[in-house]
Amino acid sequence: MTEIIDQHQEGKRDVTFRVFRFNPQVDSKPYFDDYTISAERGITVLRSLNYIKEHVDATLSFRAFCQAGICGSCGMRVNGISKLACTSQVWDELDKCREPGIIRVEPLRSLPMIKDLIVDMDPLVDKMTRYSNWIDSTMPLADMGKKEFLISEEEFQQYDKATDCILCASCVSECSILRANKEYVSPAVLLKSYRMNVDSRDGIHDLRLAELVKDHGVWDCTHCYRCQESCVKSIPIMEAIHAIREDALESRGPRDTSGAKHAEAFMEDIEKKGKLVEATLPIRTNGVVWTLRNLLPMAMKMIVKRRTPPPPPLVKSAKGIKIFRAMFREMTEHVKQDHLKSHKK
């Protein structure tokens, strides 16, 4: 009998939750409240917050619904990282505290605050609308519900992972560019846009892409991979972003936008010299006027410090560039063949 009792003496630890508080009706600025509770092994951050709300402070406000990691309601920052409270184990978080025994809980970033841990999701929904995050079906109305599209496993694989997204906004909260500009499309919306664009049932690929290449769109992403790293469903978001860019270059050409020109410049330089010609990159990306206006003052400082990149003629080609070029061009032929093949299909 004692053995059985021992078995159920679940370990307990005292844990302090340092929770971000803000009620716009009474507080002029946010503050933190500390709640110390005894937490047993296996308890999640969400259950702890529920406990605090029920037993300690009923005014503490947060969202939660499924409690099973599928509805996306409970996105918040735990110990500084955006994640789902309902799938985060308290004991695991204890290992990540900056101050021992104190778990910090804060709202997601880059979305307007409403109260305590609750932020406004409307900006995200608005962006989903702006970027047509839906399938505009090519099935004629008369055939709807009567016929199936035939979808290959290969196509399904392209968007399978992307449809895991539960719109929890963790990636949105972690995004570097969104922090800098709230107009930015956002990683989750890029992911969804990608998912729609590779779906053969959809008929507005070009329209969606045209919107994506505009300002605040796909070219503004700074490849920091924070979104991907924090995705609660481990979705490779950057692959989606890269795929949209690849598609943009192919469908709209390399001279379409400054982002496209910038990307394409790498290809040109590598083929020519095997090295990047940094000095002319600004001009090739944004033109002469922009470069003069934006970079001249800095260029002056750079010149003084001899930090300016060398002008194109002085960029030394990589050793053995001739043979490299031949190989590079051979690959270009391969790529051309690939395209022909895929078009035939």
Partner 1 sequence: MKPFDIVIVGGGGAGLYAAMEAMKTNPALNIAVLSKVYPNRSHTSAAQGGANAALANKAKDDSVEMHIFDTIKGSDYLADQDAVDVLCSEAPKIIRELENIGTPWSRMEDNTIAQRPFGGAGRPRCCYCADKTGHTILQTLYEQCLRKGVLFFNEYFALNLSVHGSRSRGLIAMNMKTGKVEAFPAKTVIFATGGYAKMYWNRSSNAAGNTGDGQAIAYRAGIPMKDMEFVQFHPTGLRKSGLLVTEGARGEGGYLINKDGERFMARYAKEKMELGPRDLVSRSIETEILEGRGFDSPAGKYIHLDLRHLGADLIKSRLPQIREMSLNFEGVDPIEEPIPIRPTAHYSMGGIDTDNFGRTVMDGVYAAGECACVSVHGANRLGGNSLLDILVFGRIAGHTAAEEAGKFEPGSISEEELRESVEEIRTRMQPSGHYERYGALREELGQTLALNVGIFRESSLLHKGIQDIAELKERFKKVRVFDSSDVFNTNLQQVLELKNMLDLAETVAVGALAREESRGSHTRIDFPVRDDEKWHKHTLATLVDGKAIPGEKPVTMGRYELQERTY
Partner 2 sequence: MKRYAYYMSCINESMTKEVDRSIDFWQKDLGLEFVKLHEGTCCGGSNLDYVSPKHFALVNARNIALAEKMGLDLVVSCNTCLMTIRTAKKKLDETPALKKEVNDILKKEGLEYRGTSEVRHLLWVLVDDVGLDTIKAKVTVPLKNYRIAPFYGCHILRPSTVLGRDNPLAPSSLDQLIEALGGQTIPFEHKNRCCGFHTLLVAEEESLNVAAEALEEAINSKADFIVTPCPLCHTVLDGYQSKALKQAHIDSSIPVFHISEMVGLALGYTAKQLGIKRHIVC
182 lies in the site for ligand SF4, by CB under 6 A: no
Q: How far is the CB of 208 from ligand SF4 (least distance, A)?
A: 17
Please, which of residues 68-97 interact with ligand FES by CB under 6 A?
A: 69-74, 84, 86
3-class secondary-structure state, position 39: strand
Q: How far is the CB of 151 from ligand SF4 (least distance, A)?
A: 22
CB-side exposure of 76: number of CA atoms within 13 Å?
A: 29
- Binder of partner 1 out of 94, 97, 102, 139 (CB under 8 A): 139
Which residue is associated with the tokens 């809980």?
105
10 lies in the site for partner 1, by CB under 8 A: yes
177 lies in the site for ligand SF4, by CB under 6 A: yes
* Beta carbons of 42 and 10 less than 8 angstroms apart: yes
User: Per CB under 6 A, which region of 38-46, 211-219, 226-234, 264-272 contacts ligand SF4?
Assistant: 226-234
Tokens of 260: 């496209």
- Binder of ligand SF4 out of 56, 66, 125, 224 (CB under 6 A): 224
Q: How far is the CB of 92 from partner 1 (least distance, A)?
A: 9
Q: How many residues bind ligand SF4 (CB under 6 A)?
A: 27
Q: How far is the CB of 231 from partner 1 (least distance, A)?
A: 15
DSSP at 107: P
61 burial via Cβ count (<10 Å: 0-12, 13-18, 19+): middle
Beta strands in the chain (DSSP E): 12-21, 31-40, 75-78, 81-84, 102-106, 113-115, 118-119
Angle of CA points 308, 313, 315, to nearest 5°: 60
User: Distance of CA 61 to CAs 46, 66, 102, 115, 216, Å?
Assistant: 12, 16, 19, 7, 32
* Beta carbons of 168 and 88 less than 8 angstroms apart: no
Q: How far is the CB of 178 from ligand SF4 (least distance, A)?
A: 6
- Binder of ligand SF4 out of 41, 182, 201, 223 (CB under 6 A): 223
* Beta carbons of 110 and 173 less than 8 angstroms apart: yes
What x/- string results for residues 159 through 198 when contact with partner 1 is judged by CB under 8 A?
Answer: xx--xx-xx----------------------------x--
* Beta carbons of 79 and 51 less than 8 angstroms apart: no
Sign of CA dihedral 221, 224, 229, 230: negative
For residues 72 and 107, which CB has a smaller minimum distance to ligand FES in the complex?
72
Q: How far is the CB of 109 from partner 1 (least distance, A)?
A: 18
Q: How far is the CB of 63 from ligand SF4 (least distance, A)?
A: 14
- Binder of partner 1 out of 17, 35, 62, 219 (CB under 8 A): 62
- Binder of ligand SF4 out of 85, 111, 117, 166 (CB under 6 A): 166
User: Which residues, at least 6 apart from 297, have a Cβ–Cβ distance to it below 8 Å?
Assistant: none
For residues 97 and 128, which CB has a smaller minimum distance to partner 2 in the complex?
97
CA 227 to chain centre: 3
- Binder of ligand FES out of 61, 67, 137, 280 (CB under 6 A): 67
User: Per CB under 6 A, which region of 59-67, 102-110, 155-163, 181-189 contacts ligand FES?
Assistant: 59-67
User: Which residues, at least 6 apart from 147, have a Cβ–Cβ distance to it below 8 Å?
Assistant: 139
Q: By the criterion CB under 6 A, which residues form the site for ligand FES?
A: 64-67, 69-74, 84, 86
